[in-house]
Structure 1
Amino acid sequence: MSGTVEISSPAQLSTLLSSSRVVVVNFYNEGNTSSKAIAPVYDQLASQLARPNRVTFAKVSTVQQAQIAQSYNVTNTPAFIIFKNNQKIRTYSGSNPQQLSEAIKDLAAEAENEGGGSGGFGEAGSSGSGGWRGAALPRGYGDVTDQVDVRGLDLLNSDSDFGGVRTLFESSQPASLKKGKAAATGSEGNKDWVESDVDNQLMLYVPFTSTVKVHTIQITSCVSGDEEDDEAPVRPKTIHIWTNRQHNLGFEEAEDIPAIQAIELKPSDWDEQTATAKLELRFVKFQSVYSLVLFVADGEGDSEKTRIDRIRFIGESGEKREIGKLEKIGADD
């Protein structure tokens, strides 16, 4: 099957989701300017990446198929929902062709390379139900980053010249890992990461759309590794973590409130290939979590800049989120 499939009934969509490993659905409105603008990009991706029974591209008119749109709580167009093995794994809204293209290409490559078994699920650097990961999943746990409520994210002391807070939860592989060390220094101009501003501290507030159990936190930091450059950004070193706060903490406030856990990362904790470290949590302390505060107290070395490319949360999700609570991860602030 090549090109796109125009969906004319709920039954047709259901059959498609059952017959193809990956299905990308474009919800559009014929009268919407943004829907019209991104349509050629979507059609081009379909012509390049569609594979019979593996990767299928579909379109749903929210006007003609209002029932389908309502069932997935699509209210704004264009919207793109990606399904894998008949499960909804990702939702994007708006007309950002680059982000959509990268996400679909990653999934298409994975679907193409997978055999009839488990394929690349759970491997470091793979795209799974929670997107790209820099480390393998611990047995019995999954990626719950899609439970992050991106609408409530808050990041203090970040440099506005770099990506916003939602960049940390992009589902795609960090651009620096694709392009090598040159990109890690910023020379490629694609700054899809976060750097601290006036000093090397960062304070991140992360609310969730459901109660989660957090087993591990994966942090990716693609620094250049140039020890002679005192101004080059460095990786986080000491990280303090709080649970179930109603809002972010101030830097002075963090000194007065005991953290649930403090972790000091060593250079050996960082995987050389994926630039990712795993924060092993005291799991019993993170059983019913609806928000986290992560305080990067300092970084490796003497640099005043700390860099983080991605954060992934590994554990178990609690009460199932209502359809429609999914938000686009990685939207510009």
Structure 2
Amino acid sequence: MSTITQIESKAHLESLIKETAIVVCDFYADWCGPCKAIAPFFQKLSETTAGVPSVRFAKVDTQVHRDIAAAYSVSALPTFIVFKDGAVLERIQGADPRKLQQAVARLAGHLLSGGGSSSSNSGGASASGRNNGNSGGANGSWRGAELPRGYTDITDQIEPKGSELLNADDNSGPVKVLFDGAKPSALGDKKGEEAKTKDWVESGEDDQLLLFMPFQSMVKLHTLQLTSLPAKDDDDAPMRPGKIHLYTNKPHNLDFSEADDTPPTQAIELTEKDWNANGTANIGLRFVKFQNITSLVIYVVSGDGDGDKVRLDRVRLVGESGEKREMGKLEKIGDEPGE
């Protein structure tokens, strides 16, 4: 018996995601080479959850069901969409086995934690033991705060090679550690683990940082999650960010004087009460101003306190990727198999 459901209509898919807690759906086309290449891998992943009634794998032929592809804003092939409790939880564009496997691993962690283990329990937004904000499983990406309902972690849309961090201390880790899905070493159990890994960044001469992040695709940002974990028993420890300015759609990083002279897309003031037990601030963005974003600049204008430096351990982006592409692009996918 096949472990994958072939979707026959839009109503069929809607019924499946309504009746099943978690649905992993592959949007493909027969002419698409990458779709064919990853199909065996998708099949193997489906077999890992065989017998679990709350999880189903499905496939949508976008040549046959263009209405379904349009309804879910599928603009590139293959696209994998994970539905949880009837809403889009995660979206993966392209034949990327690693990202797909990580998504399924996060589902496995969710199931093991007690969430979504049966259809009757699919209504709960949080599983027991997740109040600390760590919504990733043992094999999934760590997050310092819960995701807003209906939105996904799109940190993987950041292009690390094009990212740039200004005024970082020489002893800091590389900029890519900010986007790492691993649990920050400062929250680890082993003494001295933090000092060995250097999976954080600190400012250099003063308490300012400028972080430029280009994206792999156009995104919509809903929430910014920042994690900062200065040592509590060190009088000379750096500060957490206090005043932050955000800038969107810049082709490159700003310098500090340019940032000071440019009106921000949004200005943020953080205080001690904004940081949770994981050292994470969950910052809601003015969603209307963060539509169709190709890059983001985070300017830490100053720290919260009287110290000389600021520290960042993780940056997570929450929102939607590849949403609401022009319908002409969707038609192009089906009409030009040579691309």
- C-alpha separation between the residues in 2 aligned to 1:198 and 1:262? 22
Q: State the distance in 1 between where 2:77 and 2:289 align.
A: 32
Q: Give CA deviations for 1:159-183 in whole Å, capped at 9, x if unaligned.
A: 9955398x48xxxxx3125994679
Deviation at 1:295, TM superposition (A): 0.8
Match of 2:312 among 278, 284, 307: 307
**Runs of at least 5 residues in structure 1 that lack an aligned partner in the other structure:** 169-173, 326-333
Within 5 Å, give how 1:44-123 maps onto structure 2: 44-50=44-50, 52-108=52-108, 109=111, 110-112=115-117, 115=121, 117-120=123-126, 123=131
1:255 is matched with which residue: 245, 252, 260?
260
Q: Residues 1-333 of structure 1: matches in 2 within 5 Å?
A: 3-50=3-50, 52-108=52-108, 109=111, 110-112=115-117, 115=121, 117-120=123-126, 123=131, 124-126=133-135, 134-135=144-145, 155-157=163-165, 161-163=174-176, 167=179, 174-176=181-183, 180=188, 185=194, 195=201, 201-204=209-212, 217-221=224-228, 225=231, 236-242=240-246, 249-257=254-262, 261=267, 263=269, 265-266=271-272, 270-272=275-277, 274-278=278-282, 286=286, 288-290=288-290, 293-297=297-301, 306-312=311-317, 322=324
Separation in structure 2 between the aligned mates of residue 287 and residue 68 of structure 1, nearest angstrom: 26
Q: Which amino acid aligns with 2:15?
A: T
Tell whether the 8 Å contact from 1:18 to 1:85 is kept in structure 2 after alignment.
Answer: yes
Report the Cα distance in structure 2 between the residues aligned to 1:244 and 1:99, rounded to whole angstroms.
26
Structure 2: segments with no counterpart, 5+ residues? 328-339
Look up the SS of the partner of 1:92 in the other structure: strand
Return the alpha-carbon distance in structure 1 between the equivalents of residues 239 and 49 of structure 2. 36
Aligned length: 291
Q: Deviations over 1:292-329 (max 9, x none)?
A: 753124669767x9434233569xx9xxx63779xxxx
The residue type paired with residue 182 of structure 2 is A
- Please give the TM-score of this superposition, normalised by the length of structure 1: 0.61
Contact 1:83 1:89 in 2 (8 A): yes
Identity over aligned pairs, percent? 26
C-alpha separation between the residues in 2 aligned to 1:195 and 1:181? Answer: 20
Structure 2 vs 1, CA of residues 180 and 164 (structure 1 numbering), >3 Å: closer, same or farther? closer
